[in-house]
A = this chain, B = another copy of it.
């Protein structure tokens, strides 16, 4: 079948045509109910229900959904998502939706319906304490990053897997939107600058953009993002890529940005989204006491993430595939490198979510304009510090100290 955009009308026939490849418990011959769930930036997403069972159908569209046909994008990314999901499911079963079917020609992934789960971002804006958030994500990262690294995979297998993840288009989005545009007032190189920001942040933004030392460090982080093929990353691990059930079960979704990059990128993007929420709470919590309480919760989860990642990673390093790696000193050195990278990438994520193309609801939904500007200024200030001071970090305590200072 050649590619065609699925619609509410064409989906039932499509699903029936795939019946043989779908799980046996899904009866596609019954009446199918289709609900469109699309709320991300890149894809069309549907829930297909039959009797008591349901599936999620996600189709890559040939353009960026939020921008429409003006931003063409190859639907090939559905293949990167399928392959990444397969690896994450193998290495960290239960941390991602179970994949059922990938249809290359239609750019469709059919996966487990996480019914009763919700995206973590909004409940976290509402200060819901998700038990085990940090340790779950840290454990997921320990499994997926070690398991796809040169420590967990044989050298040839890793190089072949890396070559498969030639995810040029989605990497370029990250390169432009995280590492380039937020640091430029006008963008050269014949490309538009897609930044948008609250007018009140303009003076702080201009000061940041004219900081030559900071711009140099951001260029180094961008080069590291583009060259350090350490492990298969999720590539976009913010709190909108995490779903949580009422019982507190967590799943990581949407790995279409997956590629081989520096391990600290996934760690840093996740931590940054906790820090962004923490700073934004002054604009959401009814009083300082509640704001502080949730910030304390978030700091604990951030630390739990690092602890679970670093201990899970170190435990696996004892069984690493070469005598070169099975050395406690080497594990410590790699973990410190990941921590410093995470610190720098977290800084870039905080800045781009404040002034770049794609913001976070944590900040944008702050009703009071003056508070919003204060939060944005703090984001730029903390982000800049994380980038500039990352090489002085020796332990997670040092990073936490910087965050605590930014919250007081």
B155–A159 CB distance below 8 A: no
Asked if A330 contacts B155 (CB within 8 A), the reply is: no
Chain B: minimal CB distance from A235 (Å): 14
A356 CA to B242 CA, complexed, in Å: 49
| A222 beta carbon closer than 8 Å to chain B | yes
From B150, B172, B188, A155 is in contact (CB under 8 Å) with B172
Tell me which of A15-23, A161-169, A249-257, A308-316 binds B.
A161-169
Residue in A187, A322, A325 whose Cβ sees the most chain B Cβ within 10 Å: A322
Rounded to whole angstroms, the CA-CA distance of A222 and B155 in the bound complex is: 11
Pairwise interchain contact A155-B226, C-beta atoms closer than 8 A: yes
Q: Which residue of B lies closest to A175 (CB)?
A: B155
Interface residues of A (CB under 8 A from B): 150, 155-156, 158-160, 162-164, 166-169, 171-172, 175, 179-180, 183-184, 187-189, 212-213, 215-216, 218-220, 222-223, 226-230, 321-325, 327, 329-330, 333-334
A183 partner residues in chain B, CB cutoff 8 A = 324
Q: Is the CB of B172 within 8 A of A166?
A: no
Known: A172-B155, A189-B322, A323-B189. A212 touches B180 (CB 8 A): no
A267 CB, nearest partner CB in chain B, Å = 16
Central interface residue in A166, A189, A227, A327, by most chain B CB within 10 Å: A227
The reply to whether B171 and A159 form a contact with Cβ atoms under 8 Å apart is: yes
**Of B166, B167, B323, B327, which contacts A180 at CB under 8 A?**
B323
Q: How many copies, total?
A: 2
Inter-chain contact A215/B168, CB cutoff 8 Å: no
A187: chain B residues at CB < 8 Å are 323
> Contact between B334 and A223 (Cβ–Cβ < 8 Å)?
yes
| Given A156-B168, A180-B322, A215-B327, 4 further pairs, Cβ under 8 A | A160-B166, A179-B324, A189-B322, A219-B325
Given A150-B226, A189-B322, A325-B219, check contact A166 B168 (CB 8 Å).
no
**Minimum Cβ distance to chain B for residue A356 (Å):** 14
A348 to B302: give the CA distance in the assembly, Å: 39
Q: Contact: B166 with A222, CB < 8 Å? A: no
The minimal Cβ–Cβ distance linking A52 to chain B, given in whole angstroms, is 44
Contacts of A216 in B (CB 8 A): 327, 329-330, 333
Q: How far in angstroms is the closest Cβ of chain B from A294?
A: 36
